[in-house]
Amino acid sequence: MGSCNLLTTTGALVIRLQFTSSSSSSHLRIPRRSLTALRCSSAPTSQGKKEMVKAIRIHELGGPEVMKWEEVQVGEPKQGEIRIRTTAIGVNFIDVYFRKGVYSAPAFPFTPGMEAVGVVTAVGPGLTGRKVGDVVAYAGNPMGAYAEEQILPANVAIPVPPSIDHKVAASVMLKGMTAHILVRRVFKVERGHTILVHAAAGGVGSLLCQWANALGATVIGTVSNEEKAAQATQDGCHHVIIYTKEDVVTRVKEITSGKGVNAVYDSVGKDTYKASVECLASRGFLVSFGQSSGRPDPIPLSDLASKSLFLTRPSLMHYTATREELLESAGEVFANVANGVLRARVNHTYPLSEAGRAHADLEGRKTSGSIVLIPDSSS
């Protein structure tokens, strides 16, 4: 039997049975009072078939426990799009901000994640420059990296050099390009500068310290414990301050002979803002690029006037808004990884299904360097 049609009449249910072996059909009349159950099925067709993959989904704001491991549909790429099979996913504090509601997600439920590497499995109609089998990475929009497969606009995908491991690439795309714009475009670090980097052992902080050191700056870093202090030293910090044991402002003044630093790179926010301002030299730059401890209180202009200070709150997306800017930034990152200037520290990997645990460890300051999620199907 290939199909069945249900026709209702006033007193009974009429079933038309269509047989695939012939063109004939028959009718069966069943009184409603004697009908207890009926199931009809048809042979599946290829039309409308949707491919299901696993992804992290967030239906409500909250802690790591709101991250659910669910099936989602992934369709075919449209014009200007590609589909990738994800091989490695970078975890960043911006993912936490969206999960908690510090930043607003476009809709609920949503899949977090803004940094991934994958293999192209399909390209949209008429697309040139990308083909099935290419290894690409992306950082920034669109959000949705915490998934086994994803549809992406082709113009955000960056080819990954064959010499760079997928986990390394996933760990340096967003963080590496952030470090690039911070030291080369927001405040251009040069030889002779002295800078202060908060959270120097973190994902961005680690790369910031390495890059600034290579540019000839004197680098001061803050960390929470001895283990992270050792890593910060290896990453190019000339002076490391363990803020749980030492006063940051006092130590910076000692290191700089009272002059202060030319720039502070602050990803912590609420807990470090006042110290950051006090550590700056005259006409110094406070570069606030994160708020892991919470949103800073409103900043009175008088805080800046005392030393003619500059304050900026950059976003990577504004500095990579064009394809040319994106390629330039990513190219600088991959080139510095290849020549050894930047050493990616992939210190923690988790199965994608355990992304909630990765977030809990990140927020609990149990991690250093970069965190990468590996799709369960690849592990």
Predicted pLDDT of residue 270: 85
51-167+351-374: CATH number: 3.90.180.10
Are 337 and 164 spatial neighbours (Cβ–Cβ below 8 Å)?
A: yes
Give the residue, 46 or 193, on which the prediction is more confident: 193
Predicted pLDDT of residue 203: 87
Whether this model's pTM surpasses 0.75 = yes
Predicted pLDDT of residue 71: 96
Predicted pLDDT of residue 50: 62
Residues 6 or more apart in contact with residue 172 via CB below 8 angstroms:
207, 333, 337, 342, 344, 370
> pLDDT tens for residues 46-95?
333 468 999 999 999 999 999 999 999 999 999 999 999 999 999 998 99
Predicted pLDDT of residue 375: 96
Predicted pLDDT of residue 75: 92
Residues making up the chain, counted from first to last: 379
Right CATH number for 191-313 from 3.10.129.10, 3.40.50.720, 3.90.850.10, 3.40.50.2020?
3.40.50.720
C-alpha 177/C-alpha 166 separation (Å) is 16
Which tokens sit at 49?
A: 């078939």
Residues 6 or more apart in contact with residue 60 via CB below 8 angstroms:
66, 108
Q: What are phi and psi of 213, to 5 degrees?
A: -60, -45
Locate the domains of the chain by residue range. Answer: 3-34, 51-167+351-374, 191-313
C-alpha 107/C-alpha 141 separation (Å) is 14
